[in-house]
A and B are shown apart, each in its own frame.
Chain A
Amino acid sequence: MAVIELADVSRAFTVTSRSGWRRTRREVRAVDGMTFSVEPGEVMGYIGPNGAGKSTTIKMLTGILVPSGGTIRVAGVDPSRHRLKLARRIGVVFGQRTTLWWDLPLKDSFAVLQKMYDVPLARHRENLATFVELLDLRDLLDVPVRQLSLGQRMRGDIAAALLHDPEIVYLDEPTIGLDVISKARLREFLAQVNAERRTTIILTTHDLDDIEALCTRVMVIDHGHQIFDGTLDGLKSSQSAPRTLVVDLAATLPPIQVTGATVIKTDGPRQHLTFPTNTSAAPLLAEIAANYPLVDLSVSEPTIESVITQLYNTA
């Protein structure tokens, strides 16, 4: 049974703008006709440009915003009607905001959470021990939160969101501003939590490496509409973003002429060409090698960024 279900959900806001004496009201649909469901244990990446409706959706899923139309069920209840009840069963992390007690040691925040969610003491200790181990928090427990680095604080925030064994966790840009090592460590941890506890994870991010590392499913939204829902591979193959061929020639030459490919950039003896995804690179190579002094070459696949950019442009 699905743990999250949305049926034709929409959310409109009234925006009042003023120019001179005239006030105009207009309705903006932040989310429009959203229908999807999420199974327990799924890790879903929820991506879209700024203003696409991501946080509006998350707010509706957590119950702090009612939809203007459609129905939502999360963990079997209507979120906005049972906000406080649902709050015990979900965890939320905002990358840019902390819920930890700023001036106190990290462990104090954890102690308050145990009381807040009435977690049995034995279970709390067990969870805390696990997270301290996995997130390497041992030396940080006695440090006031304000003295933690961004990466350390984020680890603290993630542990805080998971201490009460939530069934669903919403992570809003959990890796924003982190260095490469911290990001990798956090992703590893989330993958492990998902695997061992079957926690459903909904992740909004601008960092597509997060998606690549964690998500079994990707949903792309733009202007409040779903424009893609499927696996990451499905996303990549759904769009025919061009592949790139980089050739190094023996001398600096004018842009080379090859059938089925076009030069997009020259950089001394190096030239960059693009060609469609559905064609093979082999005939191009043969043609170039036959007509020009070829020294070296490389082929690069389209990045997810370019795939998604193309998706936004075509939507």
Chain B
Amino acid sequence: MGVYWAIAVRSFRRFSTYRIATVSGIFTNSVFGFILCGVYLTLWHERPGLGGYDVSDALTFVWLQQGLLMPVGIFGASTTSELGERVRSGAIAVDLYRPTQLLLWWLSVDLGRATFQLLARGGAPLLVGALVFDLKFPSSVALWPLVVLGLLLGIMVSFAIRYLVALSGFWITDSRGMEQLALVLSLFFAGTILPLVAFPGWLGVIARATPWAATMQVPIDIWLGRNPGGTGAALLFQFGWLLVLLLAGQLATTLATRKVVIQGG
């Protein structure tokens, strides 16, 4: 297992070298944070208590979301898009020469990235937002470990989806279309446009049941203490999706390896 830890550490270090990208990212997140706050203030003024959120919940949602977009990889992440590129170009063959498991290798790389981005970028928008607005913080110390666990599960669910999309290149000639589709689904169902709790009726039920809900909406609701079925059920929901997706990922890896080894790419 030492090797996967070593890989995660190197990946963390690698992302820490992109200093300008980190700073400019925080700036962008903050600008978008203010714009969304304007929109949400109007919306919750018209419909107080929308989706069970009060105004403070809605504003906190905005700043948490801006901090989590990159760590969770809502728009995709450079790690998994690099994997997709390696599949398309055939460079993936080099990865098969290594005595390591493909899925664990890329999971380690992605966790290293996410950890750096969470530490460097996750909290910054929240601090900016807290200077201007009244934001909510977890009500008790006991909630913090659950928040961290929810975030970790959210990042891993997001990775598992992105990993499957990247591996689709083994079967689809141009998997970029797949990446586009995944991006749209991710933006909508992760709650980037509007918190999923605000979606009415059957649309809301479906939206809150997708794996994308497990990436960002659920961890934010753990922070706010607003998970519809309680925190425990929310964590279980995330864990369930993670298990399914990782199994699918491992199956795809086995099939892809077999395809490369037997059909020659």
User: CB-CB contacts of B5-27 with A at 8 A, as 1s and 0s?
Assistant: 11100100110011000000000
Among the listed A83, A90, A115, which residue makes an inter-chain contact with B96, where contact means beta carbons less than 8 Å apart?
Answer: A83
Bound CA span A117–B6, Å: 12
Ordered by A's residue number, 30 sampled pairs between the chains whose C-beta atoms are within 8 Å are: A56-B264, A59-B93, A62-B97, A64-B97, A65-B260, A65-B261, A65-B264, A66-B261, A83-B96, A84-B99, A85-B99, A87-B97, A87-B98, A88-B99, A90-B97, A92-B94, A94-B94, A97-B94, A99-B98, A101-B14, A103-B18, A104-B13, A108-B10, A111-B10, A112-B6, A112-B7, A115-B5, A116-B99, A116-B100, A118-B2
**Cβ contacts under 8 Å, A88 to chain B:** 99
Bound CA span A117–B98, Å: 9
**Cβ contacts under 8 Å, A83 to chain B:** 96, 261
Closest to A96 in B: B91
> Counting CB contacts under 8 A, is B262 at the interface?
yes
Give the size of the chain A interface in residues (CB under 8 angstroms): 33
- Highest count of chain B CB atoms <10 Å: which of A65, A66, A118: A65
User: CB-CB contacts of A11-34 with B at 8 A, as 1s and 0s?
Assistant: 101100000000000000000000
Among the listed A84, A90, A97, A117, which residue makes an inter-chain contact with B91, where contact means beta carbons less than 8 Å apart?
Answer: A97
**Cβ contacts under 8 Å, B7 to chain A:** 112
Are A112 and B99 interface neighbours, CB within 8 A? no
**Cβ contacts under 8 Å, A59 to chain B:** 93, 264
Q: Tell me how far the C-beta of B232 lies from the nearest C-beta in chain A, rounded to whole angstroms.
A: 37
Near B by CB (< 8 A), chain A positions 49-101 give 56, 59, 62-66, 80, 83-85, 87-88, 90, 92, 94, 97, 99, 101
> Counting CB contacts under 8 A, is B148 at the interface?
no
> Counting CB contacts under 8 A, is A144 at the interface?
yes
Bound CA span A65–B14, Å: 32
Bound CA span A37–B221, Å: 64
Are A103 and B17 interface neighbours, CB within 8 A? yes
Give the size of the chain B interface in residues (CB under 8 angstroms): 23
Q: A66-B262, A116-B98 are in contact. List 20 more A-B contacts (CB 8 A).
A: A13-B263, A13-B264, A56-B264, A62-B97, A66-B261, A83-B96, A84-B99, A87-B98, A88-B99, A90-B97, A103-B17, A103-B18, A104-B14, A108-B10, A112-B3, A112-B10, A115-B6, A116-B6, A116-B99, A116-B100
Closest to A109 in B: B10
Q: Tell me how far the C-beta of B21 lies from the nearest C-beta in chain A, rounded to whole angstroms.
A: 12
Are B99 and A111 interface neighbours, CB within 8 A? no
Q: Tell me how far the C-beta of B1 lies from the nearest C-beta in chain A, rounded to whole angstroms.
A: 9
Among the listed B13, B94, B96, which residue makes an inter-chain contact with A108, where contact means beta carbons less than 8 Å apart?
Answer: B13
Contacts A66-B261, A112-B6 known; A92 to B14 CB distance under 8 Å?
no
Closest to B95 in A: A99
Contacts A65-B261, A65-B264, A88-B99 known; A111 to B17 CB distance under 8 Å?
no
Near B by CB (< 8 A), chain A positions 129-183 give 144
**Cβ contacts under 8 Å, B260 to chain A:** 64-65
**Cβ contacts under 8 Å, A102 to chain B:** 14
Near A by CB (< 8 A), chain B positions 3-56 give 3, 5-7, 10, 13-14, 17-18
Near B by CB (< 8 A), chain A positions 180-196 give none
Closest to A89 in B: B99
Q: Tell me how far the C-beta of B16 lies from the nearest C-beta in chain A, rounded to whole angstroms.
A: 10
User: CB-CB contacts of B77-102 with A at 8 A, as 1s and 0s?
Assistant: 00000000000000101101111100
Are A103 and B14 interface neighbours, CB within 8 A? yes
Contacts A64-B93, A97-B94 known; A80 to B17 CB distance under 8 Å?
no
Q: Tell me how far the C-beta of A83 lies from the nearest C-beta in chain B, rounded to whole angstroms.
A: 7
Bound CA span A223–B5, Å: 45
Closest to A98 in B: B94
**Cβ contacts under 8 Å, B93 to chain A:** 59, 64
**Cβ contacts under 8 Å, B13 to chain A:** 104, 108
Bound CA span A87–B102, Å: 14
Contacts A111-B6, A115-B6 known; A99 to B261 CB distance under 8 Å?
no
Bound CA span A101–B93, Å: 17
User: CB-CB contacts of B186-228 with A at 8 A, as 1s and 0s?
Assistant: 0000000000000000000000000000000000000000000
Among the listed B10, B94, B99, B264, which residue makes an inter-chain contact with A117, where contact means beta carbons less than 8 Å apart?
Answer: B99
Bound CA span A13–B263, Å: 7
Are B10 and A101 interface neighbours, CB within 8 A? yes
Bound CA span A104–B93, Å: 22
Q: Tell me how far the C-beta of B256 lies from the nearest C-beta in chain A, rounded to whole angstroms.
A: 12
Among the listed B3, B14, B262, B264, which residue makes an inter-chain contact with A116, where contact means beta carbons less than 8 Å apart?
Answer: B3
Closest to B99 in A: A87
Closest to B7 in A: A112
Bound CA span A143–B220, Å: 40
Bound CA span A65–B259, Å: 9
- Highest count of chain A CB atoms <10 Å: which of B7, B14, B94, B261: B261
Are B261 and A115 interface neighbours, CB within 8 A? no
- Highest count of chain B CB atoms <10 Å: which of A59, A85, A102: A59
Closest to B6 in A: A115
Bound CA span A282–B5, Å: 72
